[in-house]
Structure formats: C-alpha cells, structure tokens
Amino acid sequence: MRKNPIVQRETLGAAVLQVRSGRATSRTTLAKALGISPSTTGLYVDHLIAEKYLNESGLNQGPMGRPRRLLSTQAGAGWFAGVEFNAHRIQAVGVDFSGGLKQTVELLLPDEVMADQVTKAILSCVAKLAETMQGPLLSVGLGVPGLVDVQAGVGLYYAFIPDWKQVPLVEIIGSKLKVPVILQNNLRAIALAERWFGIGHSLNDYVILGPRSGFGIAIVQDGRVIEGAHHAAGEVGRWPWPLMGGAGEVKELHHALSAPATWRRLSGVDGRAKLPEDLRAGLAAFSDSKGPVWDAVCTDYARVIGLLHMIIDTGVFILHGPLTMLGERFCQSITDVACALMPALREGGLKVVPSTLGDDAGALGAASQAMEAWAPA
C-alpha cells in the first residue's frame, strides 16, 4: 500500500473537475491536464478513490501498450444546487456528482417581491431538490440578476427588486445551508453553462448574447468569464441606439433588441403584457423571415455583433433566451447581414448560433459554478 500524504484540497478539486468534464480519463491524462507528475497524480487518485469521489470503471485499450484504467466520478457522492432568479421566478436545478442534471424546480415570485422573500424562496427551492437528490449537498451556485460582486459574495443592485441593494447572499444562504455558496451574474452564469452543458465545452472564446427583458452579453476569453473593473462587463443595454440617430429620438439598445421589443417589432403587436411563455410560443410560430421588419431586426443584431467581434476578436456568438425560438434561420440572417455590412468579419470567421440549452441555462450555469468551486474537505 502506498503511503497517504496530506494532499492539497485545491488540487483534489481540480482533479475531480478534470475527470468530471471528461478532459482526463486516466491517471496519465489527468497528470497532463493538471500539470503535475504522474507519480503524484497516482497518490491523489488513490485518495479520491478511497474517499469514494472517484472510481475505476474498466479499461481502455489504445492501439498498443498497457490499457488505461478509466476514471470516473461517483455519481452518488453528493450533489450540487444551481439557482437562478429574476424578479418574476426562481429556477433551481440539482446536479449529481458526475455533472448530470437530475432535477428541476421552478417557482414563480409575486409582483413587487422583496429581497428577503427571494432569499427564503431560494432556500425552499434547494430544500425541495434535497428531497430527491442522493448524498449530501456539496455546494450551491447562484445566478443573480443585476450587478454582482463575486469576490465579496454580494448582490450589489438589481432594478426590478425594490430593495435589492448590497444583499450579502453568500452569507445568508451559506449560514443556513452550511455549504460553500458562490455567486455570479446570471448572464455570466449562462456562459459557464455553455462550457459544461452546451457547445462551449470545446471552445475557449465565445460570447453569450442575452436578449431577455433587457439586452446584455457575457464574454468568455481564454476559458474565463470577463468580469470588468466594476462588475459591469457586457452591460451594453444602455448603448444609445440608433447610435447616431436623428436628434430627439435617441433610445437605448434595450429598447430595440430586448426579447419583448424584438417581438413587438416583428409582430407589430404591442407585447408589453405578454407572459414569457406566450412570447416563446409566438416566436416559435413566427415564420415570416423575409420582410423589411425582419431585415431591420437582423441588421440591428448584426451591427451589435459586428462591433463586438472586432473589439474582442472572439469566434462564436451564442444566442440565448426566448429568441432562440426563431431558430437557425435568425442566426443565419444575422451572420449574412453582418458580413455584408462589415467585410472584415468574413476573415475573422464570424459564427452566430442558437444555444442548445433551454430556459434553465442560468440555473445550470450556477450549478457549474458550484461544481467549479467545490473541493473535498
């Protein structure tokens, strides 16, 4: 038997992440992924297997040589909660230790909801998930609307919950649940969801387009989500739009490209009172992808995407939110218009795609955060 040194928590957590993501499948590949020596990696893996976090799941014969002893995460070792919310509803997901989505809970919030109601509702969602998830709760991720201070664990400001100012969420939730809690802005959480559950697993640079009740973006560069000096990176909704419009009628990008605004433009119907589900249904049924209104909407999107692309030189734009209902043809139109408007984009390989994740992307992203933050005790 090998001696069992006191290994480093952080490295253990990183090792589990690599195995869970499938980037490392054996001791040797794990060693490469972690950048530590194979011998040390062996010790860590032994420890993790002894603690029932990992197990060996058969052999994998390469073209030659000793077969790898495949590593996998033990699904029942515990679970992670991911919770995302806005002023109207809370969505929570339970993810097992292998990163598999196991359960979803949704909860509608009353109008004019207050901060402490929200935090209570979050706790009750997690409690409901706990009824069916197996093993102990290991960590909680929160996708928080508005400005968020990730370091401090504080929700700074959100316009649509009246008293949402300086809410010490990590402390509130963490002290009740006794597990690590990690925060992220909800759009940036979606970016992480793409990394774990969507097409981002093979990408290191991409941008999330989030036309929802407003319009914001999240930028992933070199595998990291950009925060900004004041936690406000990607808050492009308040761009003046049209950018150089005639005097007097300057609005903001929000008013042109949010999900309801886009629907209003496309359908000609005032959708202010529309519920989110109706909006989705309407968009899904929308088929008129030829007219001048359609072109105008695509042109606006194309302009924004083009500007972004030339600043941060990222490959892929992933469309999220209700507008994904417009499907592939919407993204294709945007790409075409953008390349027509800005020939330089063609060389850069502009790509706009609809997300394959559904409405719970934010909660999934929050769960991803939880997984990334966790390390064995």
Q: Which residue ranges make up the site for a copy of itself (CB under 8 A)?
A: 204-205, 217, 219, 221, 226-236, 238-240, 242-245, 303, 306-308, 310-315, 341-344, 348-349
The residue among 236 and 266 lying less far from a copy of itself, judged by its C-beta, is 236
Q: Catalogue the E-assigned strands of the chain.
A: 54-60, 68-73, 79-85, 89-96, 101-108, 137-144, 147-149, 154-157, 165-167, 181-185, 206-211, 215-221, 224-225, 240-241, 251-252, 316-319, 351-354
Provide the minimum distance between the beta carbon of 76 and DNA in the complex, in angstroms, as a whole number: 23
Of DNA, a copy of itself, none, which one sits near residue 217, judging by CB under 5 to 8 A according to partner kind?
a copy of itself
Task: Give the C-alpha separation, 243 to 307, whole Å.
Answer: 12
Query: H or E stretch including 344?
Result: helix 344-348
Of a copy of itself, DNA, none, which one sits near residue 246, judging by CB under 5 to 8 A according to partner kind?
none
Provide the minimum distance between the beta carbon of 52 and DNA in the complex, in angstroms, as a whole number: 17
Provide the minimum distance between the beta carbon of 100 and a copy of itself in the complex, in angstroms, as a whole number: 30
Does 39 bind DNA (CB under 7 A)? Our answer is: yes
Of a copy of itself, DNA, none, which one sits near residue 26, judging by CB under 5 to 8 A according to partner kind?
DNA
Q: Which of 305, 140, 320, 146 is nearest to 231 (CA)?
A: 146
The one among 11, 103, 134, 299 contacting DNA by CB under 7 A = 11
Provide the minimum distance between the beta carbon of 202 and DNA in the complex, in angstroms, as a whole number: 21
**Which residues 42-71 are close enough to bind DNA by CB under 7 A?**
42-43, 45, 59, 61-69
Are the beta carbons of 91 and 193 closer than 8 angstroms?
A: no
Of DNA, a copy of itself, none, which one sits near residue 100, judging by CB under 5 to 8 A according to partner kind?
none
The Cα diameter of the chain in Å comes to: 79
* Torsion angle (degrees, nearest 10) of CA 38, 39, 44, 48: 80
Instruction: Tell me 130's DSSP state.
Output: H
The residue among 120 and 230 lying less far from a copy of itself, judged by its C-beta, is 230
Does 72 bind DNA (CB under 7 A)? Our answer is: no
Of a copy of itself, DNA, none, which one sits near residue 221, judging by CB under 5 to 8 A according to partner kind?
a copy of itself
The one among 18, 26, 213, 333 contacting DNA by CB under 7 A = 26
Residue whose structure tokens are 């993204």: 331
Task: Give the C-alpha separation, 55 to 50, whole Å.
Answer: 9
**Which residues 193-212 are close enough to bind DNA by CB under 7 A?**
none
The residue among 293 and 310 lying less far from a copy of itself, judged by its C-beta, is 310
Q: Name the β-bridge partners of 101.
A: 95
C-alpha atoms less than 13 angstroms from C-alpha of 84 in its C-beta half-sphere: 25
The residue among 19 and 182 lying less far from DNA, judged by its C-beta, is 19
Of DNA, a copy of itself, none, which one sits near residue 8, judging by CB under 5 to 8 A according to partner kind?
DNA
Of a copy of itself, DNA, none, which one sits near residue 72, judging by CB under 5 to 8 A according to partner kind?
none
Q: Tokens representing 225? A: 């989500």
Q: Tokens representing 13? A: 């957590």
Q: Which of 20, 15, 37 is nearest to 28 (CA)?
A: 37
Of a copy of itself, DNA, none, which one sits near residue 205, judging by CB under 5 to 8 A according to partner kind?
a copy of itself
Q: Tokens representing 28? A: 């040797």
Residues making contact with DNA (CB under 7 A)? 1-2, 5-8, 11, 26-29, 36-40, 42-43, 45, 59, 61-69
